[in-house]
Structure 1
């Protein structure tokens, strides 16, 4: 059990306050800070703090993978930590995107390798042969678009706007209100010629302004379209976003984003856990490469409400966010003040404190972990006992339990 030193990633959409405040640094930060990475991603691995200095977690895994990761994990993932834990802080919308399944990623990666697309090329879709499912759990109120809305509700939204040039697209879905109709409408919208898009978008935005003024049924959805239209003028992703569920997560609530789920994080701070992969297929709301045929191969047009997870209380003070993703499992720990909470797992663990201060005891070793600090617990270590003298919250990342 050892403290981690983690990298902060600076992207333009990040917050100048959320991560700096979590880490106890000066606020505001000099530039936007988007993500705090905890894990062994080759691009920015955590460093383990030891009495003789710091060592890359990547190096520790390579030297003794079974002790660090455990037998079950190494049998499936080799010496690679299968998950990456993040604190994500968004002040502006991220790109509209989806991630491939393991099979899709393996095929796509192999094809780009055979055809000689450079790994750092701006038109490369697959950086590795791995899936990239995700789960985001809100630390603050967290706004997102995720998954295709039920077609009947989308038809009602589009009709409520009364934009004349939008009507043919609305009726395309109304004539076939199912997954196939969604696919047809989505494909049509994101492949519109730019002149057509430039004529249609202002009508849609004007209709959204009127809808908001009249406090219509789809006020939140229309406000989102207006925000995206201002941030990404002329972008087909603004229209595509109208087909998705608009979600507002409260602290402790989470959504799981499996392969093929189209989504965009809009605003807020959350703890994100994802498979240790860089594979992203973008749809819009970005100046980066959009490969429409490959995106269509990956997208899942299953429609309806997105399930919001609150966690199953698997033991007193521990809530686990169950997903089918084998790469990761996230739990929220809220130990009783003055009591003890015991956590154990067959594989590696990262523990992150997001509120209060925790005392961790493991095999005779003790650490006091402050807010914003995190700890690496190798698979070979015994169970960790968590105690706290004040209201405290931790998140635990582990490999999947299947």
Structure 2
């Protein structure tokens, strides 16, 4: 078991204060968007086993079975299959979707065969893996997740009273659900740049007005769209976002985002876990490349409830966030002084993150070690080690499905 030294990624949408407050450092004045914990080669955590700091991906590469366990290597290959993050959004992330595993493999192979460099701006597939993910709110957290029912989207857009949006409203009311959502999204993404920018500006002004009425229907959603428009004025993604469910998570609540589900994070601090992949297809709120045909092929045009998740308690005191995926399993422990020690079993690799208070970790056996994690600190536990857990605080546990 080893304490992790982690990298903060300074993306432009990040908060200047949330991550520094969590990890106990002074703000730099620059955005600090994501704190990465894991073995992703883009920013691997570092551990020190007595010979100086070493990147976690290099440690795992040197002995995959010894670090991850033979069962995990057999199922997922010789790398840590998940990436854990703390995400701090002060402005919207792009509206995006992720491919399923078959789409990722086919898309990566195709772009490799065509010789598109991995760092090319038009590259869609950076690897051959899928990227299901989950976000758990640490503060009130605004996001977009999945499509609204077309009738609801039509009501929301019609209330803006922007004539240029009337054709979209008519399609949403007249066509079958999946066809309506596909046609409107394709029309928005394919519209003339100047014309759609003018429409977005008009829609934004109306959204600001409707958001000012606290008793108005969808007032909170209009406020979220208007705020996003201040970061991306005239961006067609504002109209695309209006097709999606606006969700406000309370601390401890979560969203699971599977393949093909359009989504965006808007504002707040959360713990995020995902399969170890960089594959993203964007459809708005971004200056980056948008591949419309590939996006429309990957998106699942299915409307429904966004499915806010709450943790399910186990008899051992662990609270598990359910997700239909094997590459990661996320849970939390609410620890209290005087509580019975809890055992985190061996057999799978683990990353443990303290988000409040203090957690004490002790590995059992003749060479057992003890680490105390304070707020914002994390540790890596290789598969062979069993951990005894005590303390007074909140600890998130990331591992794979056993």
Offset of residue 153 of structure 1: 1.2
> Does 1:385 find its partner at 2:384?
no
Between the aligned partners of 1:112 and 1:11, the Cα distance in structure 2 is 26
Mapping 1:185-224, distance limit 5 Å: 185-215=184-214, 216-224=216-224
Deviates more, 1:332-341 or 1:240-249: 332-341
Between the aligned partners of 1:241 and 1:304, the Cα distance in structure 2 is 15
Offset of residue 301 of structure 1: 1.2
Between the aligned partners of 1:160 and 1:194, the Cα distance in structure 2 is 23
Offset of residue 229 of structure 1: 2.1
Partner residue, 1:255: 255
Between the aligned partners of 1:30 and 1:170, the Cα distance in structure 2 is 43
Cα pair distance change 1:52/1:202, threshold 3 Å? closer
Partner residue, 2:101: 102
Task: Classify the secondary structure of the residue corresponding to 1:356.
Answer: strand
Question: Does the aligned pair in 1 maintain the 2:41–2:57 contact within 8 Å?
Answer: yes
Offset of residue 11 of structure 1: 0.9
Partner residue, 2:398: 397
Deviations 1:250-303 (A, max 9, x none): 111000000111111000000000011111101111111010011111111111
Question: Does the aligned pair in 2 maintain the 1:189–1:236 contact within 8 Å?
Answer: yes
Deviations 1:192-249 (A, max 9, x none): 1113213322332232233234442011121122122222122110100000000100
Between the aligned partners of 1:141 and 1:224, the Cα distance in structure 2 is 13
Between the aligned partners of 1:316 and 1:156, the Cα distance in structure 2 is 47
Deviations 1:309-352 (A, max 9, x none): 11111234311111112211100111232121212253100001
> Does 1:236 find its partner at 2:239?
no
TM-score where L is the length of structure 1: 0.96
Between the aligned partners of 1:309 and 1:141, the Cα distance in structure 2 is 14
Mapping 1:41-80, distance limit 5 Å: 41-80=40-79
Partner residue, 2:2: 2
Between the aligned partners of 2:291 and 2:23, the Cα distance in structure 1 is 38
Partner residue, 1:277: 277
Task: Classify the secondary structure of the residue corresponding to 2:159.
Answer: helix
Between the aligned partners of 1:213 and 1:320, the Cα distance in structure 2 is 38
Mapping 1:34-183, distance limit 5 Å: 34-183=33-182
Task: Classify the secondary structure of the residue corresponding to 1:347.
Answer: coil
Question: Does the aligned pair in 1 maintain the 2:147–2:304 contact within 8 Å?
Answer: yes
Deviates more, 1:334-343 or 1:113-122: 334-343
Partner residue, 2:356: 355
Question: Does the aligned pair in 1 maintain the 2:228–2:266 contact within 8 Å?
Answer: no
Deviations 1:358-388 (A, max 9, x none): 111112322211111111110111x211111
Task: Classify the secondary structure of the residue corresponding to 2:210.
Answer: helix
Cα pair distance change 1:214/1:7, threshold 3 Å? closer
> Does 1:373 find its partner at 2:377?
yes
TM-score where L is the length of structure 2: 0.96
Between the aligned partners of 2:277 and 2:31, the Cα distance in structure 1 is 23
Structure 1: which 5+ runs fail to align? none
Count matched residues.
397
Offset of residue 64 of structure 1: 1.1
Structure 2: which 5+ runs fail to align? none
Stretches of 4+ aligned residues off by more than 6 angstroms: none
Partner residue, 1:245: 245
Between the aligned partners of 2:153 and 2:337, the Cα distance in structure 1 is 47
CA RMSD of aligned residues (A): 1.3
Between the aligned partners of 2:32 and 2:338, the Cα distance in structure 1 is 35
Cα pair distance change 1:214/1:362, threshold 3 Å? closer
